[in-house]
Amino acid sequence: MECEACPQRPPSAPTPRWPDGHPLLSAPPGQIGYWDSGTGSLTGKRGNNLPTNMETSEVPFQPWAKALYEERQRTQSKNDPHARCAAPGGPRQFHTPFGLLIYELPEAKRVLILSGGGVRTWRVVYLDGRSHPQGDALNPGFLGHSVGHWEGDTLVIDTIGFNEKFWFVRAGFPHTEALHLTERISRPDFNTLKYEATVDDPRAYTRPWSGGWLINWHPGEDFEEYFCTDNNRDAEHLVGR
């Protein structure tokens, strides 16, 4: 699936690869850097922080979800849990000004996705062929339960088991515990990560919908230390209207 909403840029150096040929999503040995998506949407003309291939008015909300989304816009996102140091679950983990890292651990058959800011979260994606837990064994959380596999040069991640204590994008699109997220991550060249997500939550939306954006590689530096709970000055200013 191509990301129609993503801006196209000339390629940089070739995509780094593992010995088996699939893309390396982190820095090559002996180098440092991190993925830095900047301060927000990379789509230019789209206003959503999950840049969809549609306008916000075309997002297939259930009536209650549309009303809640509009309320969040009217109150200027004053109740955004992330401003009070909740973890950025779902696509929002890839939409941060603080950077992220993706480490594949072949010997453990898993991928770690590390967030540089906020509460310094790490997310585990299992590549060992396991299934999602079922019933009471699935404990809803901020990051959900993720399993993945490679389709050619694309890492496909399937995640369920989310709680409702976070906003999965900064714009405040609602979701429920029925949220089923499919993410597709690829590295078309050295300096570019392509991130795409399909949101399937029949309690909040009438059909699945998708979006995506490009994330830039920031070479030569590691994360700076940042913890949301250390001198958090945001919450007191989120008074809405």
Neighbours of 206 (CB within 10 A): 12
Under the banding of pLDDT at 50, 70 and 90, the label for residue 50 is very low
Residue 71 carries which DSSP code? H
Q: Above pLDDT 90, what percent of the chain?
A: 56
pLDDT of residue 139: 95
**Collapsing DSSP states into helix, strand and coil, what is residue 235?**
helix
pLDDT of residue 53: 57
Q: Which stretch of 52-56, 93-97, 167-171 has the lowest confidence by average pLDDT?
A: 52-56
Name the domain count of the chain: 1
Q: Which stretch of 60-74, 106-120, 191-205 has the lowest confidence by average pLDDT?
A: 106-120
Question: Does 241 map to a domain?
Answer: no
pLDDT of residue 47: 39
| The pair of three-digit structure tokens given for residue 212, joined into one six-digit string | 């995506």
Question: Does 177 map to a domain?
Answer: yes
pLDDT of residue 43: 29
Q: How many CA atoms lie within 13 A of 200 on its CB side?
A: 9
Question: Does 16 map to a domain?
Answer: no
| The pair of three-digit structure tokens given for residue 229, joined into one six-digit string | 């709970």
Residue 43 carries which DSSP code? S
- What distance in Å separates the CA atoms of residue 100 and residue 222, rounded to the nearest whole number? 10
Question: Does 27 map to a domain?
Answer: no
Question: Does 223 map to a domain?
Answer: yes
Instruction: Provide the domain limits for residue 75.
Output: 35-231
Q: What residues contact 82, with CB distance under 8 A and at least 6 apart?
A: 88, 92, 118, 166, 167, 170
- What distance in Å separates the CA atoms of residue 145 and residue 159, rounded to the nearest whole number? 5
Burial 120-152 (b: 16+ CB within 10 A, else e): ebebebbbeeeebeeeeeeeeebbbbbbbeeee
Question: Does 10 map to a domain?
Answer: no
Residue 4 has pLDDT above 90, yes or no: no
65-115 pLDDT, tens digit each? 999 999 998 887 788 887 778 888 888 888 877 889 999 999 999 999 998
> ∠ CA(231), CA(237), CA(238), 5° rounding?
115
Q: How far is CA 201 from CA 24, 30, 63, 144, in A?
A: 31, 42, 13, 14
- Only one residue has tokens 């250390």, namely 230
Q: Above pLDDT 70, what percent of the chain?
A: 81
Question: Does 211 map to a domain?
Answer: yes
Question: Does 239 map to a domain?
Answer: no
User: Which has the higher per-residue pLDDT, 38 or 94?
Assistant: 94
